[in-house]
Structure 1
């Protein structure tokens, strides 16, 4: 019983660490939690039209992600320092042109036994202690106050905006008044910013309304409004852009600071 109490105390101390200091450190829950892009599988660079990622929620004992085609979810167990067990994965059943990346990813995840973390890189190892998957932090969690100001939309549902747009969709975040305003490519829009303080990168937009002018490109207009209504979280990408994501972690809007 004393040994068990000691282990809990040590574990609590480890959980207070906020980042991976080196690959020699025990990986804490804080290190692991969050979403990671899949960069390599079995030593081969991932080349997928839509970026696969893995998300870890150690507190709730779950893993989730996206294979580039289907959503996946399963259970995870952290039994010992740097040891991890992933339960059998369940996934959606969409058929996509590239099913090979998905197959390799699911096979690699099924073989994972341990992990190491260094900075923004996480390596998953199989039973033979050979790396099976290389991951990199998908985004940085930043305070809501970091969103303040003007942003322009650079991609929508992973695709670049049509060339030659007369008015580029743009958003302004007033985090003090909890308001979002802007334009969807033609019409003006406004709505409320909702943020759950218990989930630091949560965001959603309520009561989004827009003017109703007829525009040459209503497709982009409608997609911007649809994307805004689906947003549930945000994060800062390595390129400095802001990602707004739907419930499943899909980036529906990518923004950059207006110059």
Structure 2
């Protein structure tokens, strides 16, 4: 009788262990599959911890330090406290990630501001990431995370993906000149931060960066070299706007490009096509 009872207990114990192991394996598999299904692209990642030090609100100077990964062109763009930065990235199996050397704007930053180079250097060394709930950790090997970010809301700016037709330039109304092919305008493309437009005779193109507080910067602006002697338009005045504008304001369907708090350099209106 004792032998029979011992046999039954052994069978029950073996069955329990098998089920427990099966459940554990299934749970681990489910967690792994869940991690694989979580994408870190096309999201706003806001910095919370850098090399073990939590960032205080005052240290961020009331502006979120963040980056985003654009899955369409594998480009990273972000804001490092004073300057914007950009580059490319590559994702591989096993949550591996690598970045190109970052390019950054060269704005003069206030003394004692956030150490931007400390953040940018992380992208040069990181080789993997882990994601838990709404937190993203950038790591090197299996060491303590170099930086931790939280998921933020990636809100589209009302200034991008619109056709902005020039209304006034330096306080004066703008009208199309005779023989002018089309009105003067520009558009901002969010996919690759590209500027395109028409200056009255020549087309224009370049790049732009948006920052907190409705700040904007244009760079790498270029034009075609077409000669239009019969078109009475001041292209140089229009192009000068993109050199000095540093902020914008929007009211309804009207956009103003400004420098500091002075009178708007130019006023544009949104045009919609059917």
Q: What TM-score, normalized to structure 1? A: 0.46
Q: What TM-score, normalized to structure 2? A: 0.44
Rg (Cα) greater in structure: 2
